[in-house]
Structure 1
């Protein structure tokens, strides 16, 4: 059992902790899917030192915990949960003379992209509009439109929960790959800060959705935001199509022979398929979902959880969904794709208590 009160705690590094007695927020209010129950206790940390100190204290006490940043990659069970929520609220961006950005983990990610574009710094403009906090970006190596955080990440400041050490580690030590790092799905460390190496430039990186074209940074950012809005991938409280965790499934990587079989079976030219090395190819999860019979808005207007009406890769809460509804929809989509093509889709969000 979690040993704690039901209030929100503001932590301080050192021997004293100041308690602010308010009701612990539900995960429905902390996540972009807007589902989830209530933690036994919550701790809001506004500095890297507070964050490390709080996690260390809870670990020493044997208290199960969940670190929550922007909540854009979490699917949390309903009801009362026997864990503590550690809310990452340390914010701030600093720029050095070598064009390196140091970013506190709790900083809103899109604010980081906006800052870079405003200062004429290129490298992350294609990652505009991605919800969540900066600290989450290296954990799953976020990416979009031909760019990913691994392209610019130089090092990460971690609280190592196994050794009890606050340390900066090089990006190379994280085994960054497609939507993966060795931090993902583990409890070994918590991200406190990240560092990015950007470039002084007027033009963007080549943008995949513009056919590889390079455009002015501000135009690139607006183009990416416009594309994401059209897919319901930019959060809007008034639009249920955006009550999601973004792309719910990763694009599957399969042997080239399997890709050939699927393309022949569907009988369409130009099936989305991209080389992934070692005789493997990456397929489009959205394309597979649609061809497996899961249309936009699936399974229908009466369902509390549905595929977005704008983009089949987003599972959405239509205002009254529970966590179990989202999970059931995810399994149903997986079953149909598996049955149609023999391909397993893997969720991107972390499932908690489900």
Structure 2
């Protein structure tokens, strides 16, 4: 294990923000991960687990404890079954499954971060979520002090949520296993309307795997959602807010606010989200509340390519970013009566 003290954390995050950690440990095997976690737990030292750093907002004061970088490697295919070590780069793993002719995660191409983070957040985009292909998650249980294998049915997956996210101090993901599909070189059925339009097909159609992946990468790049060190629009955590899911009563009240603000004919985005619930678009809310692409004059601004991404223009601090996030939350709440919820994990700060 590599160990550093008073180590900067900003370079380990896609925001490039945050102060130093008292101690930074990099683990390259499951055994090293477990040893580092046990050492921290035995000594009562606060522990921050870092994968790809694409979903972290770390305070300017840094982290008073041990930051553990999970840098394990492992990509194993057995037929249609895939096992990834937690430290595998997710976008690279997706590319390799497409090359192998296996469907199920091709529309999750270009998402930054590590494989171990995908079940925690139930990562999803363009009509796919990892919950639909994960078969089980191998994790270290800090309460039981043992390695456990959690079947998909017991992961409590929901929209951008799981049992691992619900109890963040308990589990450290070590490996993720997937059941993919051999569709003779074709993708899973295309579910997302934007993807279908870009591909020139109907929702439900299948297309060549490489075409699905390449199309998603182009769509993501156009929104600043594929990492590029030269493009400050990608110095972000991707979507900063989750799409609100409202009860029927909440949606009716929201609908009334929309028409009051935008006129009687205005219709907000609405998508089925289970019985008695409707999902609407956080990006639409932000834009219609007056926070358009490129909004802001300081070092933290809304992306020029996508209203859901808050970005570091190169000289921002975490507090600059949070000031912008709070302004957006307050503006959307005042206009539409909906309180947006941040998607990234905050460390040492609150929104």
Q: Is TM > 0.5 for Structure 1 vs Structure 2?
A: yes
Q: CA deviation at 1:90?
A: 0.2
| 1:298 corresponds to 2:295 | yes
- Note the alpha carbon deviations across 1:34-66, whole angstroms, 9 max, x for none: 000000001110011211121011101111010
Quick one: distance in 2 between partners of 1:320 and 1:286?
25
Quick one: distance in 1 between partners of 2:32 and 2:17?
27
| 1:203 corresponds to 2:195 | no
| Segment drifting more, 238-247 vs 204-213 | 204-213
Contiguous gaps of at least 5 residues in structure 1: 1-8, 11-19
Q: CA deviation at 1:25?
A: 3.6
Quick one: distance in 1 between partners of 2:46 and 2:13?
19
Residues 252-263 of structure 1 aligned to structure 2 (within 5 Å)? 252-256=244-248, 257-263=252-258
Mapped contact 2:90–2:113 kept (Cα < 8 A) = yes
State the match for 1:139 in structure 2: 120
| 1:30 corresponds to 2:15 | no
Quick one: distance in 1 between partners of 2:254 and 2:109?
31
Work out the number of aligned pairs and report it.
Answer: 333
Q: Which has the higher helix share?
A: 2
Quick one: distance in 2 between partners of 1:271 and 1:68?
37
TM-score w.r.t. length of structure 1: 0.91
Q: CA deviation at 1:316?
A: 0.1
Mapped contact 1:259–1:281 kept (Cα < 8 A) = no
Q: CA deviation at 1:262?
A: 4.3
State the match for 1:338 in structure 2: 333
Distance 1:170 1:338, change over 3 A: same
State the match for 1:240 in structure 2: 232
Mapped contact 2:257–2:335 kept (Cα < 8 A) = no
Q: Match of 1:196, SS?
A: strand
Contiguous gaps of at least 5 residues in structure 2: 197-202
Q: Match of 1:272, SS?
A: coil
Distance 1:23 1:151, change over 3 A: same
| 1:171 corresponds to 2:152 | yes
TM-score w.r.t. length of structure 2: 0.92
Quick one: distance in 1 between partners of 2:219 and 2:281?
17
State the match for 1:353 in structure 2: 348
Quick one: distance in 2 between partners of 1:237 and 1:24?
25
